[in-house]
């Protein structure tokens, strides 16, 4: 019963079939055959026939009824004949009149007492009588089946064995599913075959005292009847009247005990009934146990030892006690339901859900005490979120440094870090102590992390010995950096690694310490403040003695005097200067874009202003210009802020630089599913409004209502300062592969730099260029080699990855699955075993593996065959 | 009590007490759902939900047993396979009770964002899910009404 929800009273419809129906049919026919054989024996060799029937077959039934009544309900020969008309479709299927439904039990109880009592008179000794009894019952069962529907013609109604089955089996130790009713036709009241655990309880609790009374009468009289039956004098020595008076006396005695118990110790009806029924069971085996054993022994030709003779009796005690306990728990459930207190239950098909949910080993999180599954296909960040915990993240690529987590235990059970992640950890000074949650996966158990702990508080590895100080060696003692974005701060960090003595000043126009620019969308929709975006702890600045001039602009560079002039009137002298001013958002020229309500999203302050604006003016609609990564992420942030947003994309599809048509189409459909509108092949012509933005006119003439307009249409390097200082500048500050500008003492890195032929505008590019600039300025030979330029959309609920060139060509193999699902799209371009181009778009998880492979630049020769067979999971094994 | 609700039988009167949530979702459908929603494992004694937490999610208990507690009082036990927590899923209000694990186990947690995502990928399944959650709420509402009336 493991694949159903645990209902307290499952009906047979809730139970799975434990065994195939063929099995039961064979079993039924076999039982029927055994019965015929015994009847044949009764007719031809009464001594052994009677012994088998009365000493073995019949006395075994009560225990079977208590243990697994469902077995008998499946194989009973009377049930078999009763169900023949139904099975072969010739039953008239009449409904048993309600009067009979209520009375049937009473009739069957009387029949039971009467027929059993006649054993001493006829059936124990007259072969003919027994044959008439058995075949008569079969005939009646069959006739019942011909006329009445379901099992109401016999099994659940008139069958004299039905009351005893219900009483002994009121709380089955083992439940076997009803195998006769393909559909339930509701043929009888409180059907035992429908709901075995509830039938007897419901009978006793019935509102009709007459109906409930029959049941009580039966169970209460049963022990007495058993004692009377087994202790009655031989009929040869007494009269029939005395015999029946004697039986009645016993029945009345236990009936009296039952009533007294109900009155004086106020035991519930159900418990009194359960105890009564089980006493009858035990009494029965007290008298018949030895007979069963002896008869079987006689058949086998062995003499059973004394203790074995008692075995049936003791078994009956154990089973009886067990059934009473099961009954009591059923009663408690029943009462809870009856009083209306049991809350209605809602469940799922547990096996199916569980099969798809998986996972065994755990990762523990110390602060919350929660844990999540160690799953080699999911990152720790996924796990943390699945545990209902939050962790701020940024790039989800191990590059930005937003989500280091302290590994308290089990470092060895984590996936090895990629170069990107190592570089990030190094920058954060956390090698060997922490991991970036967004890329790290637990491959085994025994991992403990601690989200409450600053990874910096974990013991630090000893500093490398004989550290040289390049600053002293080369005489570079003053380094000034303009800009505290990723490029600027990575330079600061690298410079400090090369020289402990060098003075480092960072000039920063914004008023915040280094933060995660890629995640500013969260400031728009989330309630969290900027603190969560900071990428370096305050101690870092102190420990590394890096002086950051927040809220301070560099306004001029005096190359001759080797000074940077600040907007405050101060100036900073430098031996070497690094330009890391980044870039700013472009607002494509259109009438009206100076109106309040027009924004860009480049800095933390931008996000904060938009959020305030949305609240101040209760804005409901927005237009985002630009269908690239930034535009889509901005639109998603607005959506989460409950603003209806339309994306205007000049190209014919979203993310046209990174994705192919199908990839774009899936993305578009997903966004539209979230309620974000997308208009392609259009641009913004004009922005209107009285005092602020109210409408946006598109190039195609369409008018859109909007109170917010955000331009995400590209960036422009902040290179004016450099140009004014006479450095060579085109789109950005021109550098060579060593990050030198046209002035040997000035370097540039990040968005502000322009290196011929290299991709720019990406986080990882800035970090990588910074390392080169820091090395070159100390006179080392270094040359920039581009990091992976994987573009991934940082949006929950969808994976979008684009990389490299999506064009085949000489020596480039393209792999894609023509039969892929409509919702998923994967295309790989491989040359010399390495990925040179890729699009992966689909539900979460679709592109995780490919992203990591691209970042690690792993060689795929080993799995190329699997990939050709579209076994994308192979990417996870690299 | 609906124990003998012979589905198509004439004499069944009581409403169903038990609902199978998303009964007609196939195994493949569930696989798709579970790509988007997250499964969470816990140990005995862990809190799945804490009173006072703001958390717009509901849970499907895939294994183990949890109990509903307020302070030190245990109000009820929730068995394997149950769906719970749907009220905060809808109204986003603070959790009123703590749900603590009695044994180790696992649960699928569905947040409102997850439902949005699901609606974008699998609109039909999301519609069913929402409808079934409504059914759950309705049934529990009927139950409280009846409790109040009795
Ligand atoms: C919303 C958003 C999402 C992004 N997502 C991704 C992504 O997913 N992947 C990716 O690779 N890249 C992404 N990027 C781009 C990435 O953030 C940039 O490439 C990266 O920040 C560039 O770093 P940088 O240090 O060169 O410049 P910046 O980060 O721009 O930092 C330059 C700093 O210098 C300051 N400054 C400028 N002029 C002066 C001056 N005269 N005096 C003093 N200070 C000055 C600026 O105010 C700024 O703080 C995203 C950018 C944004 C805005
Ligand atoms: S009530 Fe339903 S389950 Fe019970 S015997 Fe009739 S048809 Fe079968
Ligand atoms: S390093 Fe993990 S989110 Fe950026």
> Which of A77, A219, A88, A192 lies closest to A141, judged by CA?
A77
Q: What is the pTM of this model?
A: 0.67
Considering every ligand atom shown, identify the ligand nearest to the alpha carbon of residue B3 and give its number. 2
CB A750 within 8 A of CB A486: yes
Considering every ligand atom shown, identify the ligand nearest to the alpha carbon of residue A487 and give its number. 1
Tens-digit pLDDT profile for residues A25-48? 999 999 999 999 999 999 999 988
> How many residues can be counted in chain A?
878
Domains annotated for chain B, with CATH where assigned, are 27-149 (2.60.120.10)
pLDDT band at A340 (very low <50, low <70, confident <90, very high): low
CATH of domain A791-877: 3.30.390.30
Between A501 and A362, the higher pLDDT residue: A501
Q: What is the pLDDT of residue A342?
A: 57
Rounded-to-5 percentages of helix, strand, coil across chain A: 45, 15, 40
pLDDT at A815 over 60: yes
Please give all residues whose beta carbon lies within 6 A of any atom in ligand 3, as ranges: A 393-396, 398-403, 424, 436, 438
Q: Would you call A844 and B36 a contact, using CB atoms and an 8 Å cutoff?
A: yes
Q: Which atom of ligand 3 is nearest to the CA of A516?
A: 4
Question: Residue by residue, what is the 3-state secondary structure of chain B?
Answer: CCCCCCCCCCCCCCCCCEEECCCCCCHHHHHHHHHHCEEEEECCCCEEECCCCCCCEEEEEEECCEEEEECCEEEEEECCCEEECHHHHHHCCCCCCEEEECCCEEEEEEEHHHHHHHHHHCHHHHHHHHHHHHHHHHHHHHHHHHHHHC
Report, as an integer, the average pLDDT of A524-541.
Answer: 87
Write phi, then psi, for A308 (nearest 5 degrees).
-70, -30
Considering every ligand atom shown, identify the ligand nearest to the alpha carbon of residue A437 and give its number. 3
Query: What fold does the segment set A587-713 form as a domain?
Result: FAD/NAD(P)-binding domain (3.50.50)
Q: Identify which of B21, B35, B48 has the shortest CB distance to residue A346.
A: B21
Question: Does residue A514 sit at the B interface (CB-CB below 8 Å)?
Answer: no
Question: Does residue B57 sit at the A interface (CB-CB below 8 Å)?
Answer: yes
Question: Does residue A845 sit at the B interface (CB-CB below 8 Å)?
Answer: yes
A349-388 residues touching B, CB cutoff 8 A? 349-350, 352-359, 362, 369-373, 382, 385-388
| CA of A858 relative to ligand 3 center, distance in Å | 20
Tens-digit pLDDT profile for residues A669-687? 999 999 999 999 999 999 9
Please list every residue in chain B whose beta carbon sits closer than 8 Å to the beta carbon of residue A16. Answer: none
Tens-digit pLDDT profile for residues A10-20? 888 878 888 88
Report, as an integer, the average pLDDT of A527-551.
Answer: 89
| CA of A535 relative to ligand 3 center, distance in Å | 10
| CA of A633 relative to ligand 1 center, distance in Å | 16
**Is there an atom of ligand 2 within 6 Å of A187 CB?**
yes
Q: Quote the minimal CA–CA distance from B91 to chain A in Å.
A: 16
Question: Does residue B76 sit at the A interface (CB-CB below 8 Å)?
Answer: yes
pLDDT at B14 over 80: no
Question: Does residue A343 sit at the B interface (CB-CB below 8 Å)?
Answer: yes
> Which homologous superfamily is A358-457 in?
Beta-grasp domain (3.10.20.30)
- Give the best residue of B81, B129, B132 to mutate against chain A (max A CB count within 10 A): B81
Considering every ligand atom shown, identify the ligand nearest to the alpha carbon of residue A150 and give its number. 2
Q: Which atom of ligand 2 is nearest to the CA of A151?
A: 5
Tens-digit pLDDT profile for residues A62-94? 999 999 999 999 999 999 999 999 999 999 998
pLDDT band at A627 (very low <50, low <70, confident <90, very high): very high
Distance CA A835, CA A830 (A): 4
pLDDT band at A527 (very low <50, low <70, confident <90, very high): confident
pLDDT at A665 over 90: yes
3-state secondary structure of A520: coil
Say which CATH architecture domain A470-583+732-777 belongs to.
3-Layer(bba) Sandwich (3.50)
Helix (H) or strand (E) holding A717: strand A715-717
Fold matches, A470-583+732-777 and A587-713: yes
Q: Would you call B30 and A352 a contact, using CB atoms and an 8 Å cutoff?
A: yes
**Is there an atom of ligand 2 within 6 Å of A181 CB?**
yes
The residue extents of the domains of chain A are: 21-177+185-201+214-339, 358-457, 470-583+732-777, 587-713, 791-877
Q: Would you call B46 and A369 a contact, using CB atoms and an 8 Å cutoff?
A: yes
Please list every residue in chain B whose beta carbon sits closer than 8 Å to the beta carbon of residue A362. Answer: 41, 43
Between A835 and B3, the higher pLDDT residue: A835
Q: Would you call B83 and A11 a contact, using CB atoms and an 8 Å cutoff?
A: no
A198-217 residues touching B, CB cutoff 8 A? 198, 202
Tens-digit pLDDT profile for residues A98-151? 777 778 888 899 999 999 999 888 888 899 999 999 999 999 999 999 999 999
Report, as an integer, the average pLDDT of B112-132.
Answer: 90
Please list every residue in chain B whose beta carbon sits closer than 8 Å to the beta carbon of residue A343. Answer: 76, 140, 143
Q: Identify which of B41, B45, B81 has the shortest CB distance to residue A5.
A: B81
- Give the best residue of B39, B47, B109, B133 to mutate against chain A (max A CB count within 10 A): B39
What residues contact A84, with CB distance under 8 A and at least 6 apart? A142, A145
**Is there an atom of ligand 2 within 6 Å of A70 CB?**
no
């Amino acid at each position: 019963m493991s694949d159903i929800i645990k209902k307290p009273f499952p009906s047979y419809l809730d139970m799975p079939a434990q065994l195939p129906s063929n099995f039961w049919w064979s079993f039924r026919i076999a039982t029927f055959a055994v019965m015929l054989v015994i009847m044949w024996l009764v007719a031809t060799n009464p001594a052994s026939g009677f012994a088998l029937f009365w000493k073995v077959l019949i006395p075994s039934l009560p225990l079977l009824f208590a243990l697994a009544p469902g077995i008998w309900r499946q194989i009973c020969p009377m049930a078999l004949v009763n169900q023949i008309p139904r099975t072969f479709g010739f039953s008239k299927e009449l409904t048993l009149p309600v009067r009979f439904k209520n009375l049937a039990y009473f009739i069957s109880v009387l029949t039971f007492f009467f027929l059993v009592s006649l054993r001493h008179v006829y059936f124990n000794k007259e072969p003919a009588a027994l044959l008439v009894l058995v075949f008569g019952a079969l005939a009646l069962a069959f006739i019942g089946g011909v006329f009445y529907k379901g099992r109401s013609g016999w099994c659940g109604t008139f069958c004299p064995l039905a009351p005893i089955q219900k009483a002994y089996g009121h709380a089955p130790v083992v439940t076997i599913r009803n195998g006769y009713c393909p559909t339930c036709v509701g043929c009888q009241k409180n059907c035992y075959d429908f709901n075995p655990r509830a039938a007897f309880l419901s009978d006793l609790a019935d509102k009709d005292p007459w109906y409930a009374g029959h049941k009580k009468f039966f169970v209460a009289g049963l022990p007495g009847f058993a004692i009377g039956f087994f202790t009655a004098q031989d009929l040869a020595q007494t009269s029939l009247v005395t015999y029946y008076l004697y039986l009645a006396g016993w029945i009345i005695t236990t009936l009296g005990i039952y009533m007294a118990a109900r009155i004086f110790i106020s035991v519930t009806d159900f418990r009194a009934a359960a105890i009564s029924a089980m006493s009858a069971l035990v009494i029965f085996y007290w008298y018949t146990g030895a007979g069963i054993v002896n008869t079987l022994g006689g058949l086998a030709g062995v003499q059973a030892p004394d203790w074995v003779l008692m075995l049936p009796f003791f078994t009956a005690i154990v089973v009886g006690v067990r059934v009473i306990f099961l009954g009591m728990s059923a009663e408690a459930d029943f009462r809870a339901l009856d009083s209306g207190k049991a809350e209605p239950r809602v469940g799922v098909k547990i096996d199916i859900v569980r099969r798809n949910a998986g996972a065994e080993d755990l990762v523990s999180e110390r602060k919350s005490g929660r844990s999540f599954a160690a799953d080699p296909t999911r990152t720790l960040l996924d796990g943390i979120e699945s545990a209902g915990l939050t962790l701020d993240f940024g790039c989800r690529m191990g590059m930005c440094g937003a989500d280091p987590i302290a590994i308290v235990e089990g470092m060895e059970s984590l996936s090895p870090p990629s170069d990107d992640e190592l570089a990030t950890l190094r920058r954060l000074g956390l090698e060997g102590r922490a991991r970036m949650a967004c890329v790290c996966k637990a491959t085994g158990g025994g991992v403990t992390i601690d989200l409450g702990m600053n990874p910096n508080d974990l013991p630090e590895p000893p500093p490398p010995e004989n550290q040289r100080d390049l600053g002293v060696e080369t005489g570079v003692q003053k380094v000034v950096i303009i800009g505290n974005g990723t490029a600027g701060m990575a330079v600061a960090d690298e410079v400090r690694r090369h020289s402990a003595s060098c003075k480092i000043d960072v000039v920063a126009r914004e008023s915040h310490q280094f933060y995660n620019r890629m995640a500013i969308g969260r400031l728009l929709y989330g309630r969290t403040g900027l603190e969560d975006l900071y990428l370096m702890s305050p101690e870092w600045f102190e420990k590394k003695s890096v002086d950051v001039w927040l809220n301070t602009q560099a306004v001029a560079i005096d190359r001759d005097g080797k000074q940077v002039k600040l907007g405050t009137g101060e100036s900073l002298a430098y031996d070497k200067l690094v330009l890391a001013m980044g870039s700013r958002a472009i607002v494509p020229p259109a009438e009206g874009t100076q109106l309040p309500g027009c924004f860009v999203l480049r800095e933390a302050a931008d996000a904060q202003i938009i959020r305030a604006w949305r609240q101040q003016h209760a804005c409901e609609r927005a237009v985002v210009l630009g269908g690239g990564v930034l535009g889509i992420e901005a639109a998603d942030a607005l959506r989460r802020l409950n603003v209806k947003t339309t994306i205007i994309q000049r190209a014919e599809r979203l993310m046209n630089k990174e994705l192919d048509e199908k990839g774009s189409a899936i993305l578009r459909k997903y966004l539209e599913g979230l309620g974000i509108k997308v208009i392609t092949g259009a641009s913004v012509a004009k922005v209107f409004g009285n005092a602020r933005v109210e409408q946006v006119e598109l190039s195609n003439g369409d008018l859109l209502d909007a109170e917010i307009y955000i331009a995400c249409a590209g960036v422009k390097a902040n290179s004016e300062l450099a140009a004014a200082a006479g450095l060579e500048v085109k789109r950005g500050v021109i550098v060579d592969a060593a990050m030198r500008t046209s002035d040997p003492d000035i370097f540039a890195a990040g968005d502000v730099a322009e290196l011929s032929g290299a991709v720019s505008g990406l986080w990882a590019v800035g970090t990588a260029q910074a390392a080169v600039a820091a090395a070159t300025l100390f006179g080392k030979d270094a040359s920039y080699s581009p990091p992976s330029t994987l573009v991934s959309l940082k949006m929950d609920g969808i994976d979008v990855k684009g990389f490299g060139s999506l064009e085949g060509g000489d020596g480039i193999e393209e792999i894609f699955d023509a039969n892929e699902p409509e919702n998923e799209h994967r295309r790989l371009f491989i040359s010399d075993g390495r990925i040179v181009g890729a699009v992966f778009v689909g539900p979460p998880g679709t592109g995780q593996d490919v992203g990591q492979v691209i970042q690690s630049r792993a060689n795929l020769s080993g799995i190329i065959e699997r990939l050709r067979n579209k076994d994308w999971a192979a990417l996870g094994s690299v | 009590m609906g124990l003998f609700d012979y589905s198509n039988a004439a004499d069944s009167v009581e409403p169903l007490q038990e609902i199978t949530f998303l009964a007609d979702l196939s195994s493949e459908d569930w696989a798709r759902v579970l790509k988007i929603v997250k499964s969470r494992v816990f140990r005995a004694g862990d809190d799945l939900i804490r009173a006072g937490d703001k958390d717009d999610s509901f849970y499907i208990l895939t294994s183990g047993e949890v109990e509903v507690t307020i302070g030190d009082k245990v109000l009820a036990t929730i068995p394997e396979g149950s769906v719970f927590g749907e009220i905060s899923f809808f109204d986003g209000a603070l959790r009123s009770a703590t749900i603590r694990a009695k044994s180790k186990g696992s649960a699928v947690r569905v947040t409102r964002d997850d439902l949005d995502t699901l609606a974008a990928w699998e609109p039909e399944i999301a519609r069913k899910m929402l409808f079934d959650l409504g059914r759950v709420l309705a049934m529990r509402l009927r139950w409280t009404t009846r409790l109040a009336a009795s």
